[in-house]
Each structure stands twice: as C-alpha cells, then as structure tokens.
Amino acid sequence: MADDEVFMESEDDFVRPFLVTAGRTRSSVGDLRMETMVEQTGSDTSRLRFEAGRVMTLCTSAISIAEVSAHLRIPIGTAKVLVGDLISLGHLKTHQTIDTHQLQDLNMIQRLIAGVRAL
C-alpha cells in the first residue's frame, strides 16, 4: 500500500515528457525560442485538460516559454511542443523577440539602457 501512495504522489508531480508531447520532440510551430513570450488569445479553452490547461492558466498574461517550462517543471523542448500545439489551435499568440537585426533601431537599445539605469 505504501508503494501505491508513493506512486500516486509522484504521478501528480511528474509526467514523462514524451507522454505530454505524444513522443514528439519538435514543435509544430517554427522559431519558438526560450525567451519568446506567449499569451492567451481569449479563445474558449474550457475543454483543454492536463498540461495544455495548465499552460493556458499560466499564459493569462504574456510569459516566456522558459517560464512555462520552469513553472510546469518540464524541459524547454517539451514546453515548446505544448506551446506550439496551442498556437496551432489558436489558443495562444506569440509576441516579438528583439534580435540583432531589430536592434539596428537605436531606440530599442536606448530604452534598455534607460530602463536598467532606472532599476
């Protein structure tokens, strides 16, 4: 019986990554990075269960995929697959990340400088 209890407890905490993603290791949506922020679109998500439902709860406001991964205690790759699915289904939208090309806009780096200076 003691063994059963242990099993029940750990089952709650830990889902094997390949079960969450049905064995997939790559997201269906390209170019998702760990720092990419995602957010609910406002679609009806009442039918979503388990990990997908938990992702949606986290994404009430914009949050990075790394944060999704940390809060759900799943690897980054698994979080990308889950988030990618929810984007494909129209439940999540992605926000922009600044990459080096967009930095050509001096304004962005100046905002970063002003922001950190004001911390």
Partner 1 sequence: MSSPNPISAKFVVAGGFGVGKTTLVGSVSEIDPLRTEASMTAASVGIDDTSKVQTKTTTTVAMDFGRITIENNLVLYLFGTPGQDRFGFMWDDLVNGALGAVVLVDSRRLEDSFFAVDYFEARNLPFVVALNTFNGQTSHSPEEVAAALQLRPEVKVIHCDARDRQSVKGVLLNLFDVILNRMMADAGQA
Measured from the CB of residue 74, what is the shortest distance to partner 1 in angstroms? 8
Q: Are 21 and 81 in contact (CB under 8 A)?
A: yes
What part of residues 9-48 is at the interface with partner 1 (CB under 8 A)? 17, 33-37, 39-40
Alpha carbon separation from 42 to 22, 93, 110, 116 (Å, rounded): 26, 10, 33, 32
* Amino acid code (one letter) for 93: K
What track of x and - describes contact with partner 1 for positions 47 through 76 (by CB under 8 A)? -------------xxx-x-xx-xxx---xx
Is the CB of 8 or the CB of 30 nearer to partner 1?
30
Residue 99 backbone class (left: φ over 0; alpha: ψ -120 to 50; beta: rest): beta
Report the alpha-carbon distance of residue 93 to residue 70 in Å, rounded.
19
Is the CB of 1 or the CB of 22 nearer to partner 1?
22
Strand ordering across the sheet containing 92-94: 63-64, 37-40, 92-94
What track of x and - describes contact with partner 1 for positions 73 through 112 (by CB under 8 A)? --xxx-----------------xxxxxx--xx-x-xx-xx
Judged by the rule CB under 8 A, the positions of this chain that interact with partner 1 are 17, 33-37, 39-40, 60-62, 64, 66-67, 69-71, 75-77, 95-100, 103-104, 106, 108-109, 111-117, 119
